[in-house]
Structure 1
């Protein structure tokens, strides 16, 4: 079987006896287990010197190869261009874009350095799978290193509309970079359509079925929605009552209804609007006071970027304001937790909740909403309130979908969810669970790898 090479910005080398952090890492490891191969990327370390050595670790039939980032590259490639230029533009937030030429130079430099280091490890005749927005130019850089093997690229975040994209300096070069891959994967039809429009408007590309023809190159494209391991998550949820934190929560809740949100602390997640919606719920539906608790878990993220620190402080102030206005001696409506919880604890919290509140302003997919659905008790499931601007909205029609900017609509949807009859809740749950099974994490991996392997056959 053809050897697989996976490249991602961050690589976490698994330690024997420890479970891997996320489902996506498990899926990629599964593909590498199946094909045998190499996982390459940044090791998460920041070095003081510009010279960095490649480290390789073998775990059964997978080689993990990692590099540290020099401090300057960490600040300019990762924090700078990746997260202060690409991230806001691709999440439709031009106001947060901070383009600086040194950021763009570092972004290109790191991708070229990755390509140079990786090319020394390639054996030829492999399948190469590159992940996410940090590595848009890597395919072109590898081609310059003489790599001719099939290369696929998967974008985990949204792709912006053409009008938004062209507000970003250097967008033409990044589009051309993507056209050096053989297969491009996107989360939704909208993302694929936006990319096609961009290359048509910029380069006069032609579309033939699922193939883009441009500048003498042919690139296959497809939609591959990322999913979850449904059966594994259901099993975790069924055992969640054994978790001490989940048991304590149920005792504390008593007869009160739990509304839960769990996100990385990021301005794209719509957390400010969500807190305003909770205040609107307590204002417009007074009978919810004393009877409802909103718990928002916001895992710390990119604290070195000022916007993220500002957001943390703003949410703390909003939680204090709502609690100061509505709390009573024996009831506090908002529980805001700026910390990371173990996966098993989160799953237990999801199962205890009557409403899952997932309202990003823009999201490539959003797996939290899928995890919430899978974690529910089939006999008495909670209801998902979901932003229509999340990629998952195109799959989860059984959710109550809302505009994440409309706080009154969110409050009304929460009220509808809390009043929903059992038979309707069960029907919505069954419908969404069926979709999750059809678009599982393993299916996502299988389809992408099948299409990338076809590119290998076509090349032969």
Structure 2
């Protein structure tokens, strides 16, 4: 029976050792909750790092405990964690993906360990995976893993989801190992992101860095179709909704009310990170107090910063800057009975943020960049009284869904200041109206919905790929071909040139046949039952130069010219080229403003090539050209033929299909291919 294998950097569990014995504590995170419905069923399993350095002698004990929970550990050494996780994942990928490129470190040792650890994950997957299994890989620490698995298990269903933003091409191209990272991700059948912006950025980077083609949100690579799509992640909304009624949360909330009374609370909860915009929101709060003295003793900010990576210089500096700014604001505005900012640099059990969510009048969520940001959704799910105002950064993925929030640019201090004032002064009816709509969204599109739509889409993508591959030559069809060829007495093979006999080339004249190709044609010709016909859009002069010495037939320029073995070229009658002057003028205008493009002139056609043009720009110009040429070609009885990095205009009377039909007319071939 097939199973689902979930793979992430860390397992959804915390492992602790007390009195020489290891204990497991299941994570309360949204991902663990959402995927719990999958990995806890049947033989399904979750693979990930155990989260601590485990002595070799204890590995089996931990493995046995984890296997009871359908979890399988990857054990990593301190050096692997230092270079793969702290190094490449968090000092190379994290800053680039969050548009903080000045913090990025490009250390070769980081990369070497990143690749090594991804291989370590792969080796464990290979021990567990069986034919028919579904594999779902999570996040930026394992970008190489999909392709590593694909190379070993080519028919396996693989999904990949990235939980952080994907940067624009201009940022992503800075990474020295960009080719390897993209190739790794494209080993998946389905690649998911939180937002359509991330989908666009990934597709743009992939098409610019790799020699691949796209159709809408599908990437074509190595005879495979990879679907790229947006799946906005939800939270365990019911849990946060129900928590507000728990005894612990109600008790904490009562204590807050006794201490702060009618003071309006502005809440800020974040992990320590330069991408979270903590400094900017403190400056905005400072401006509110400075310009609105009527709010003194009437409002307060409760700020929780969860410690993270504070051994890294940038994070340590950020913590110091926060400490100084909080101290500065408190020292300037505090009174004997009131502190403007209540600042906590530590983590709390889930009941504490739940009580703060429930009590807070305003929640400030203003990251500089964030894949989704689940704090905003946790706040909404906790507002069971349907009051409160969410101020949300437009740079957070959640802003695409939570449109009733006050959306701000975190770089615009004035805009954040005005949003805080607007939230403080907002009428109750408007608050309730906004929050009611926000809660409907969060409660409906929760973590379970996210898991369901991703897994359903992965299944659909794989079924579609199986259906598509069934149209290719399979073993049964190969056998039928062989039997038909054996039984035939007179065969004709129509063979295209570019993309069939040779790969596409930026310079068409450089795509010349080599000795191996000539040998293949000669081998086919040795059988007297075979008739070889090269049929191409190439000029007849070019085909004559390359293949005129061979005992085969040639069809050039899509059928405008024919040459039978031992005879001269024959021109298709009643064709005109008088139309070319007007069309050439338009093509020249596109070449003049598109560096790298050029025009190829044939006897009865014109072709505009853009293979050497910057990716993206070439496609843009080609689509524009096709749109502008449609009326002209229809009026003049011409055919517009988009091809691989080329747009060709030719007489409508000629095409390869007609040429092939004309060639076989009156001949008694019993095998045509």
Q: Same fold by TM (over 0.5)?
A: yes
CA change 1:114–1:17 in 2 (3 A) is closer
2:446 counterpart residue number:
440
Q: Which one of the candidate residues 338, 350, 353 is aligned to 2:345?
A: 338
Q: Distance in 1 between matches of 2:154 and 2:36?
A: 23
1:73 counterpart residue number:
80
Question: Which entry has the higher C-alpha Rg, 1 or 2?
Answer: 2
2:197 counterpart residue number:
190
Q: Distance in 2 between matches of 1:147 and 1:136?
A: 17
Q: Which one of the candidate residues 392, 401, 414 is aligned to 2:398?
A: 392
CA change 1:245–1:309 in 2 (3 A) is farther
CA change 1:19–1:105 in 2 (3 A) is closer
Question: Which range moved further: 430-439 or 232-241?
Answer: 232-241
Q: Distance in 2 between matches of 1:274 and 1:329?
A: 25
1:8 counterpart residue number:
8
Structure 1: segments with no counterpart, 5+ residues: none
Q: Distance in 2 between matches of 1:33 and 1:412?
A: 47
1:314 counterpart residue number:
321
Tell me, yes or no, if structure 1 residue 401 matches structure 2 residue 407. yes
Question: Which range moved further: 322-331 or 225-234?
Answer: 225-234
Tell me, yes or no, if structure 1 residue 374 matches structure 2 residue 381. yes
Deviation digits for residues 213-240 of structure 1 (CA, Å, limit 9, x no counterpart): 1343321121111001222321112336
Q: Secondary structure at the match of 2:47?
A: strand
Q: Distance in 2 between matches of 1:457 and 1:212?
A: 16
Q: Distance in 1 between matches of 2:342 and 2:385?
A: 27
- How far 1:206 sits from its partner (Å)? 2.3
CA RMSD of aligned residues (A): 2.3
Describe how 1:74-153 pairs up with structure 2 within 5 A: 74-146=81-153, 148-153=155-160
Deviation digits for residues 26-57 of structure 1 (CA, Å, limit 9, x no counterpart): 111112235641110100113588x9879534
Tell me, yes or no, if structure 1 residue 348 matches structure 2 residue 337. no
Would you say the 8 A contact 2:249–2:352 is kept in 1? Answer: no
Would you say the 8 A contact 2:13–2:25 is kept in 1? Answer: no
Deviation digits for residues 38-79 of structure 1 (CA, Å, limit 9, x no counterpart): 110100113588x98795346798521102211111111000
Would you say the 8 A contact 1:81–1:107 is kept in 2? Answer: yes
Describe how 1:228-307 pairs up with structure 2 within 5 A: 228-239=235-246, 242-307=249-314
1:225 counterpart residue number:
232
CA change 1:17–1:116 in 2 (3 A) is closer
Question: Which range moved further: 31-40 or 435-444?
Answer: 31-40
Q: Distance in 2 between matches of 1:52 and 1:111?
A: 20
Q: Distance in 2 between matches of 1:21 and 1:153?
A: 22
1:166 counterpart residue number:
173
- How far 1:448 sits from its partner (Å)? 0.7
Tell me, yes or no, if structure 1 residue 41 matches structure 2 residue 83. no
CA change 1:242–1:171 in 2 (3 A) is closer
- How far 1:405 sits from its partner (Å)? 1.3
Q: Distance in 2 between matches of 1:172 and 1:54?
A: 40
Q: Distance in 2 between matches of 1:360 and 1:410?
A: 12
Tell me, yes or no, if structure 1 residue 181 matches structure 2 residue 188. yes
Deviation digits for residues 327-355 of structure 1 (CA, Å, limit 9, x no counterpart): 11111101111111111221110110110
- How far 1:144 sits from its partner (Å)? 3.4
Tell me, yes or no, if structure 1 residue 418 matches structure 2 residue 424. yes
2:458 counterpart residue number:
452
- How far 1:458 sits from its partner (Å)? 4.1
Would you say the 8 A contact 2:280–2:410 is kept in 1? Answer: yes
Q: Distance in 1 between matches of 2:24 and 2:243?
A: 18
CA change 1:368–1:277 in 2 (3 A) is same
Q: Distance in 1 between matches of 2:294 and 2:43?
A: 58
Aligned residues: 458
Q: Distance in 1 between matches of 2:63 and 2:28?
A: 20
Q: TM-score under structure 2 normalisation?
A: 0.65
Would you say the 8 A contact 1:52–1:69 is kept in 2? Answer: no
Q: Distance in 2 between matches of 1:383 and 1:75?
A: 41
Q: Secondary structure at the match of 1:268?
A: coil
2:636 counterpart residue number:
none
Q: Distance in 2 between matches of 1:436 and 1:357?
A: 17
Describe how 1:12-23 pairs up with structure 2 within 5 A: 12-13=12-13, 20-23=27-30
